[in-house]
Structure 1
Amino acid sequence: MAERPATILVADDDPRILQLLRAFLESLGYRALLSQTGNDAVQLAQENVPDLVILDVMMPQMDGFEVCRQLRNDTRTSHVPILMLTSRVALEAKLAGFESGADDYVTKPFELAELRARIRALLRRSRELQVRSPLTGLPGNRLLLEELRHRIQRGQPFAFLYLDIDYFKAFNDAYGFLRGDEAIRLLGQLIRETVEELGSPDDFVGHIGGDDFGVVTLPEHAEAICRRVIERFDASIGSLYDPADLERGYLRGYDRHGVPHRFPLMTISIGVVASVERAFADPEEVSRTATEMKQYAKRFPGSNYAVDQRGRKPPRVVTPERRGRRPSATIAVCGGERDLLGLIQIEMEKSGHQVSLFARGEELLEACRTAPPSLVVLDASQQGASVWVLCRELRALEGLKYRPILLLSTDPEDEERAFHAEADAFLLKPFSLKRLVACIDDLLARAPNHTPQSGERDGNCSGG
């Protein structure tokens, strides 16, 4: 069977260059896709993932550097080699191209023989690296490590999630590798969908190999993603078992030593590490720490995730009991924007929570003294009282000493003020209702079931 011809996307605002390169590439046996603007180039690459991108630096709407960055930040195109064309000969321009994620550079005017050699070299190197998993279509381990290295070098905040299926070998042995592949594809799909829903555009999803996956996200999104992936996996995985095994609740099999065992139905364990907890020297240190957290999570039954908190307290494992949404939690919401408060009330009541709205801080304080709610949401826009004074007064109440407080504001600088006022989380307005629900769910799940001793309170889920 003949090998599929490579598809090469060419983006240049000069129609003469486009037609020249199309004729040239087709003469070499390649398939050419053409774009005259940066925006169209990004969309075309996402819809028809090419094997190589040839990208002009100077284009209208969006220049080549930004196109390169967007392609690198999308898991669908992050592995695609990029060759940049430019009339600039300055070293700074070339460095900017490499910094944005380009793999090679050709200066205009160029010789077709040189361009041919560079195209062939990039395509050969890409095939040799095998950067994308053929099973899930996700970027592989090499690109995942590169993403971590990139964020470490730039000093960007990140969280790394290391996900692994528990009891996968027993399932694979019982049903065969084809159904085992179904389980791996299912988890990969759930992770990708969850990150698209709850993460940010720059998040990275990779398939490390086998039943192991990795996610690079922002620290404030990590736990919401963990909880949603676990929830969806636990709800979906039963469909892959035979009815009798599912009803029984376990598989019969043998361990590596040939000893018969009853293996529980598959669950997942997730190790979570974040740059806000410690400084990492390299991706290997991140990987080792996440592996330790994942193994720690495996000590507990069911699907769990373990969060590295060393440097301030032992790892925190979120088990199904802590993760589950508390029925009929009471939520008090206070602020000056009636429309916003109404939307929050509608969304929270959909989740089965009881919501009380307060226009003034004095009313909220009085209500909390009588019956402390499970969680308080404070809008920085308050009638009369200072939200910072109100937050401290709420925290001073015995019944709210360890209950979560979420603060909402349009001012990014209020994030630091919120935590000085002892709020547990901060959301920057405007935000999506999905983000709000995820943050509130996370705060409720992590709130202690008892009156903890000093220092037991968990971290926050701050984010926009």
Structure 2
Amino acid sequence: MATFERIKRIFASGQTERRAEPRSGVPKGVHVLVVDDSPTICAVLDKMLSQDGHVVIRATSGEEAIALASSELPDLIFLDIVMPGMNGFAVLRALRREPMTHDIPIVMISGNLQATEQFYVQRFGADDFMKKPFGRGEVFARLQELSKSGRLIVRERVGETMVTEPVDQAMHDAIPDIAMPDENDLLK
């Protein structure tokens, strides 16, 4: 019977893909700030999270991340470590010093192969670390763990209207479901 249901799901017209179905254990409507200088990583995380009903805000620099975190007060931040200008460690320290952003959970991400980054991430106060490449399962495991531990709390936003860019469906569908590190991340 399970095989028949699986075949039916694959060939049924109008059926959504498995990866588009919401993940359990994570509250819906999480506002997530994705900070990465790679447009690919931002697009992949945006696709993964928005398919599950979350709101994604993007920043491509450390300075922009601090400004958006202070003004938007996201529920969660995915923060790249290796960025030009202000790196992820400096952003993490700045966010932890500010009372408004101090308690926002932060998951650091990096394609750098050095294990010492994980040590510094914990020492500077990040909530978790995710290594590139990563897939949907790993992203949602981080969300579930933060939710289960009580760190991920979805703030109620009354009367908020989020202005988003129109989505080109073909471009959205072309985004892969796994995020690979940029060559620059591996060289640093």
SS of 2:117's partner is helix
State how far apart, in whole Å, the 2-side matches of 1:11 and 1:53 are: 7
Map of 1:57 onto structure 2: 81
Question: What are the equivalent positions in structure 2 for 1:159-308 lying under 5 Å apart?
Answer: none
State how far apart, in whole Å, the 2-side matches of 1:124 and 1:33 are: 23
Question: What are the equivalent positions in structure 2 for 1:101-112 lying under 5 Å apart?
Answer: 101-112=125-136
Higher relative contact order at CA 8 Å, sep ≥6: structure 1 or structure 2? 2
Amino acid of the structure 2 residue aligned with 1:76 = M
Query: 1:13 offset after TM fit, Å?
Result: 0.2
Task: Name segments (4+ residues, structure 1) moved above 6 Å.
Answer: none
Map of 1:68 onto structure 2: 92
Query: 1:56 offset after TM fit, Å?
Result: 0.5
From 37, 40, 44, the counterpart of 1:20: 44
Map of 1:442 onto structure 2: none
Query: 1:112 offset after TM fit, Å?
Result: 1.8
Percent identity reads 34
Map of 1:42 onto structure 2: 66
Query: 1:57 offset after TM fit, Å?
Result: 0.5
Uncovered stretches (5+) of structure 1, i.e. residues with no partner: 133-464
State how far apart, in whole Å, the 2-side matches of 1:106 and 1:4 are: 21
From 86, 109, 131, the counterpart of 1:85: 109
Query: 1:29 offset after TM fit, Å?
Result: 1.1
Cα 1:105/1:127, change in 2 over 3 Å: closer
Query: Is the Cα contact below 8 Å between 1:66 and 1:100 reproduced in 2?
Result: no
State how far apart, in whole Å, the 1-side matches of 2:147 and 2:58 are: 18
Amino acid of the structure 2 residue aligned with 1:28 = D
* Superposed CA offset, 1:144-203 (max 9, x none): xxxxxxxxxxxxxxxxxxxxxxxxxxxxxxxxxxxxxxxxxxxxxxxxxxxxxxxxxxxx
Aligned residues between the structures: 128
TM-score by length of 2: 0.63
Query: Is the Cα contact below 8 Å between 2:28 and 2:53 reproduced in 1?
Result: no
Question: What are the equivalent positions in structure 2 for 1:237-386 lying under 5 Å apart?
Answer: none
Cα 1:89/1:80, change in 2 over 3 Å: same
Confirm whether residue 30 of structure 1 aligns to residue 54 of structure 2. Answer: yes
RMSD: 1.9
Amino acid of the structure 2 residue aligned with 1:22 = D
Map of 1:10 onto structure 2: 34
Query: 1:127 offset after TM fit, Å?
Result: 5.2
TM-score by length of 1: 0.26
Q: Which has the higher strand share?
A: 1
Cα 1:4/1:24, change in 2 over 3 Å: closer
